[in-house]
Amino acid sequence: MAEAKSVAFHTLGCKLNFSETSSLSRILEQEGFEKRSFDDPADVYVINTCSVTDNADKECRQIVRRIQRRAPESTVVITGCYAQLKPEQIAAIPGVDLVLGAAEKFNIARHLRDFTKGDSSKICSCDITEVKGFNSSFSVSDRTRSFLKVQDGCDYSCSFCTIPMARGKSRSDSIENVVKQAWKLSEQGVKEIVLTGVNLGDFGKTNNSDKHSTNFFELCRELDKVEGIERFRISSIEPNLLSPEIIELVSDSNRFMPHFHIPLQSGSNKILGLMRRRYRRELYAEKVAMIKTMMPHCAIGVDVIVGFPAEDEASFKETFDFLHSLDISYLHVFTYSERDNTSALDIKPVVPVHVRNERNKVLRNLSFMKSQHFASQHRGETRKVLFETQTKNGMLEGYTDNYIRVSIPYRDDYANSIVPWHLREV
C-alpha cells in the first residue's frame, strides 16, 4: 500500500457518522494521503455506512459498482454501523477489499498499510461487547459549524433499534477533553458547535465504567464558559434525560441556543411501551411545557416513527392528536422498517407498508404546518442569524438562534458572521 496516496470518502447516515468520517480523513491526511472528492479517481475509497438507512446493502453495492467503473485498481474500505452488523454480507460484495468494524475503524491507517490489493476481502471486526474505548471526532462543514462527538453507544434497548448492536455500550469523552476541543475549534474560526452522540443525555460514563462519573448538565455548564464559541446546540436528547437543570441552563445561557430536538417516537402510551421507551407521553408533554414556559421562543423538533407493529388507527390518531396539541416547531418523520435481530419483529400485527406510507404523509403535512406556524410567530422580530459561507444559487443561508432558516442575496461581509436580521416573509 506504500504508493497509495489519495483517498476519497462517502458517508451515509447521521451527523455522528459525518463527524467520524472527518476524523478518519484527518488520520489518513496525517499519514500522507491526499483527500479527493468522491467523484474523482482515488487510490482508496472509504464508505462510512449506516444501519438505519433502508437498503443499506443495496446502496453499498451501487456505490462500490460506481467506484469499480471509475477506478478498478482502487482499494475499497467499508466501515460504520452496517459494517459492524453485517460484515460477511458486505465482504461478499464484489469489489470490497476491507471491512472495518466499530473497534477497528480508527485503526484504518494501519489496516491500509498491511493490506495488499489482490488479497481476498478482509474483515477486521470483533464482537460489539468488546468495543469499549471512546474516539473523539468532529467535523467542520464550511468553517461555520462543527459537529462534535462527545458520547458514543447506548445502554437502552428500544425494541426497533440496532444502534446498540452496531455501536456498543454508552461511553463518553471527558469534560476536560471536550472543553479543549471546543477551544481548538474556536481557534479555527468555528462559530457554532453542535454536540452530538448516540444517546447524548447519557453523557458521563467514562473509563469503561457502567456508572456515571459526571453528567450532561455538568458538561454544558463547563462549555458555557468557552468564550471563543458563540453558539452551542444540543443535537438530540431523550425526554427522560432532559432535566429541568439543563432546560434552565439553556434558558439562562447566551451560548446555548434556544433549540431542543427531543425524540418522541409515538404519542400512544401503548406503542411507547412496546417500543420499550423509557417515558410516557405525559412526561414528554411536561418537558415541552417547561421549555415553552421558560423560553416561549424556543424551537422544539420531534422525531416520530409511524407504522410500528400494533399501531392501529386509534394509536395513530392518538399520536397525531398529541403532536397537534403540542407547542412544537417541526417533526422528523420516520417510517418503521423491520431490522434483523430486533425484538420488534415479534410484535404483531404488522402494519401494511402502504398504511405506513400514508401515515408518514399525514405527519409530514402536520410538520409543514407546525414549521410555518412557528416561523410566522417570529415574523417582524429581529433575531441573530449565523450566516454560512457557501452560496446556494446566489443566496446566503443561515439559522436564527431558534433555528429558523433565513435566506438572503449573497453578501461577502455576512459569511460566517452572526448578524441581527429582521425576519420578513415566511
Toward ligand SF4, which CB reaches closer, 107 or 269? Answer: 269
Q: 220 to each of 233, 296, 402, how far by Cα in Å?
A: 10, 21, 18
Q: How far is the CB of 417 from ligand SF4 (least distance, A)?
A: 35
Toward ligand SF4, which CB reaches closer, 98 or 344? Answer: 344
* Helical ranges in 189-239 per DSSP H: 216-223
| Block residue for cell numbers 459492524 | 84
Toward ligand SF4, which CB reaches closer, 52 or 71? Answer: 52
Q: How far is the CB of 214 from ligand SF4 (least distance, A)?
A: 20
> What is residue 119's DSSP assignment?
B
Query: d(Cα 22, Cα 260) in Å, to the nearest integer?
Result: 25
Toward ligand SF4, which CB reaches closer, 230 or 303? Answer: 303
C-alpha cell recorded at residue 307? 407504522
Q: How far is the CB of 39 from ligand SF4 (least distance, A)?
A: 32
Q: 5 to each of 37, 63, 98, 409, how far by Cα in Å?
A: 14, 21, 17, 40
Can you name the residues that pair with 335 across neighbouring β-strands? 306
Instruction: Report the interface residues with ligand SF4, using CB under 6 A.
Output: 154, 156-158, 161, 163-164, 198-199, 238
| Cβ atoms 205, 213 nearer than 8 A | yes
Q: How far is the CB of 268 from ligand SF4 (least distance, A)?
A: 17
> What is residue 197's DSSP assignment?
-
Query: d(Cα 300, Cα 190) in Å, to the nearest integer?
Result: 24
Q: 285 to each of 19, 241, 268, 322, how far by Cα in Å?
A: 32, 14, 12, 9
Q: How far is the CB of 230 from ligand SF4 (least distance, A)?
A: 29
Q: Please provide the DSSP assignment of 230-291 as one string.
A: -EEEE----GGG--HHHHHHHHH-SSB-SEEEEEEE-S-HHHHHHHT-SS-HHHHHHHHHHH
C-alpha cell recorded at residue 19? 463527524
Query: d(Cα 107, Cα 103) in Å, to the nearest integer?
Result: 8
Query: d(Cα 56, Cα 66) in Å, to the nearest integer?
Result: 16
Toward ligand SF4, which CB reaches closer, 269 or 389? Answer: 269
Q: How far is the CB of 376 from ligand SF4 (least distance, A)?
A: 32
Nearest 5°: phi and psi at 324?
A: -60, -40
Toward ligand SF4, which CB reaches closer, 38 or 156? Answer: 156
Q: How far is the CB of 356 from ligand SF4 (least distance, A)?
A: 18
> What is residue 74's DSSP assignment?
S
Toward ligand SF4, which CB reaches closer, 199 or 402? Answer: 199
Q: How far is the CB of 1 from ligand SF4 (least distance, A)?
A: 35
Toward ligand SF4, which CB reaches closer, 17 or 199? Answer: 199
Q: How far is the CB of 305 from ligand SF4 (least distance, A)?
A: 9
Toward ligand SF4, which CB reaches closer, 154 or 229? Answer: 154
